[in-house]
Structure 1
Amino acid sequence: MIGHLTGKIITIKPTLILLDVNGVGYEIRISINTFERISGKESISLFIYTNVKEDSITLFGFYSEVEKDMFELLITINGVGPKSALSLLSGISTDDLKQAIVTNNVERMIAVPGIGRKTAERLILELKNKVRDIKDEGIISTKPSLQKEAVIALTTLGYNLISSEKVVNKILSELPDCSLEELIKRSLKELNR
C-alpha cells in the first residue's frame, strides 16, 4: 500500500495531478481543497489512500492527514464510495464537514453537488460519534466561497489560476452581491479581452 508520496508536479488539474516521484509518474485524484493548497508549488508531499478493485488501482491524495482521515471515515459508510467522498471533501472543508455532522446540519451537506438528503442524513447518523476523533484543521467557513467556486469553474475551463483569481477578486470588489453565474460570465468577458 502506498501511504505517502513526495515528488514534483508534472501536470495539475482541479481534481487530478500527475506526480513525478524519482522518475515514476503517479496519477492521483485530489479534492478541490487539496488542489487549492498545492497550486503554484513545484514539489509537494501528499498523504495517499490506495483504492484497489478487481480491475483498477486508484490513488487518492490529500494535503493533510486530517483530510485523509475524514476521507477514510466517509468511505466506511454504505453507499459512499471514494468518488463521492472526494466530491464531498471538494465542496466543504474537513472542519466544516465535521461541524455539519456534529450539529446535524443536513442543509450544509446537501449544498455539495452529488450529496442527497438521504446520504447526508446517513452520514450524520453513522459518523456523529466517530467524527469527534478527527483533529481540526482550523479552517471553517460559513458557506462555500463564491470566489472559490468561480475560480474552480474558470480553471476547469482551462484558464490560468492566478489570472482567474485576480479577475474574480476584482469583480467581487466591484459587485460583492453578484450571483455565481454573473460572476463567471463577467470573469470570462474580462479574461477574453
Structure 2
Amino acid sequence: MIEYIKGDITDLSPTMAVIDCNGVGYGINISLNSYSDIQNLSSTKLYIYESIREDAYVLYGFSTKRERELFLMLITVPGIGGNTARMILSTLSPSELCSVISNGNEKVLKSVKGIGLKTAQRIIVDLKDKIVTTGIENVDMQSFSTANSQVNEEAVSALTMLGFIPSQSQKVVTAILKEEPNIPVERVIKLALKRL
C-alpha cells in the first residue's frame, strides 16, 4: 500500500498532478483544494489512496491527511465513487464539508455537480456521527506538532470519558493548544473543564 508519494511536480492541472519520484512519474488525481495547496511548489508530498479495479489502477492524492480521511469517509457512502468524492472535495474545503455535514445542510451538498437530494441526505445520515466522533471537523492534523497532537488526543479522550461531547471537547482543546502550544496534558484538561 502506498501511504504517500513525495517528489518533483513535473506536470500539474486542477485535476491531475504528475510527481516524479526517483525517475518514475506518478499520475495522481487531485481535488481543487490540493491543487490550490501545491500549485506554486516545485516539489510536494501527496497522501495517497489507491483505487484498484479490474479495469483500472487509479491513484488519488491529497495535500493533507485530513482531506484524505474525508475522501475515505465519502467513498463508504453507497453511490459515491472516487470521482464523485473528489468532485465534492473540489467544491467544498475540508472545513466547509465537515460543517455542511454536521449541520445537515443538504442544500449545499446538492449544489455539487452530480449530487442529488437523496445522495446528499445519505451522505449526511451516514457521515454525521463519524465526523463528530473522529473530531475531524475541528482539527487539521498537520497544524499540530507530533507532541501537540498527542496532548490533543489524550485531552479529548479524557474529557470524553468524563462525559463531554467529543466535538465540543475538540474545539476547546484545539483553542487552548493554539494559545499555549507547549502545556502538559493535565493543564489542558484543567483549562478545558473551566471552559466546557
Q: Is the TM-score greater than 0.5?
A: yes
Aligned partner of 2:92 in structure 1 is 92
Cα RMSD after superposing both structures: 1.1
Q: Which runs of 5+ in 2 are unaligned?
A: 141-196
Q: Which has the higher helix share?
A: 2
- Distance in 2 of aligned mates of 1:136 and 1:87: 22
Encode CA deviations 1:137-165: one digit per residue, 9 max, x unaligned: 56xxxxxxxxxxxxxxxxxxxxxxxxxxx
1:42 shift after superposition: 0.2
1:118 shift after superposition: 1.0
- Counterpart secondary structure, 1:50: strand
Query: Which one-letter code corresponds to 1:30 in the other structure?
Result: I
Give the alignment of 1:64-103 within 5 angstroms. Answer: 64-103=64-103
Instruction: Say if 2:104 is the partner of 1:104.
Output: yes
1:123 shift after superposition: 0.3
Aligned partner of 2:138 in structure 1 is 136
- Distance in 2 of aligned mates of 1:47 and 1:136: 20
Give the alignment of 1:182-193 within 5 angstroms. Answer: none
- Answer yes or no: is the 8 Å Cα contact 2:4–2:46 preserved in 1: yes
- Answer yes or no: is the 8 Å Cα contact 2:8–2:42 preserved in 1: yes
1:135 shift after superposition: 4.7
- Distance in 1 of aligned mates of 2:99 and 2:81: 21
Aligned partner of 1:4 in structure 2 is 4
- Counterpart secondary structure, 1:128: helix
Could you say which structure has the larger radius of gyration? 2
% identity of equivalent residues: 38
Give the alignment of 1:40-59 within 5 angstroms. Answer: 40-59=40-59
- Answer yes or no: is the 8 Å Cα contact 2:98–2:137 preserved in 1: no
Aligned partner of 1:27 in structure 2 is 27
Aligned partner of 2:13 in structure 1 is 13
- Answer yes or no: is the 8 Å Cα contact 1:66–1:94 preserved in 2: yes
- Distance in 2 of aligned mates of 1:98 and 1:21: 32
- Answer yes or no: is the 8 Å Cα contact 1:66–1:135 preserved in 2: no
Q: Which runs of 4+ in 1 moved over 2 A?
A: 135-138
Aligned partner of 2:114 in structure 1 is 114
- Answer yes or no: is the 8 Å Cα contact 1:94–1:137 preserved in 2: no
- Give me the TM-score of the superposition, normalised by structure 2: 0.68
Query: Which one-letter code corresponds to 1:92 in the other structure?
Result: L
1:136 shift after superposition: 3.2
Aligned partner of 1:123 in structure 2 is 123
Figure out how many residues of one structure are paired with residues of the other and give that number: 138
1:95 shift after superposition: 1.0
- Give me the TM-score of the superposition, normalised by structure 1: 0.69
